[in-house]
Amino acid sequence: MNPLSGRVPEAISWIPRDGIGGGVSVRRQAKAARKRKKKSVAMVVRIRLARFGCRNRPFYRVMATDSRSPRDGKHLEVLGYYNPLPGKDGGKRMGLKFDRVK
| pLDDT per residue as tens digits for the range 17-40 | 565 555 667 777 788 777 776 655
Please check whether residues 81 and 61 belong to one and the same domain: yes
How many domains does the chain fold into? 2
Please check whether residues 34 and 50 belong to one and the same domain: no
Please check whether residues 49 and 63 belong to one and the same domain: yes
pTM comes to 0.54
User: Residue 50: which domain range?
Assistant: 45-101
By DSSP bridging, strand 14-17 and strand 20-25 are: antiparallel
Burial of residue 3 (CB within 10 Å: 0-12, 13-18, 19+) is: exposed
CA distances from residue 98 to 29, 44, 60, 63, 92 in whole angstroms, order as listed = 45, 20, 17, 13, 18
| pLDDT per residue as tens digits for the range 51-88 | 999 999 999 999 999 888 887 888 889 999 999 988 88
In the chain, % helix, strand, coil (3-state, to 5) comes to 20, 40, 40
The reported pLDDT for the residue numbered 36 is: 72
Q: Is residue 4 part of a domain?
A: no
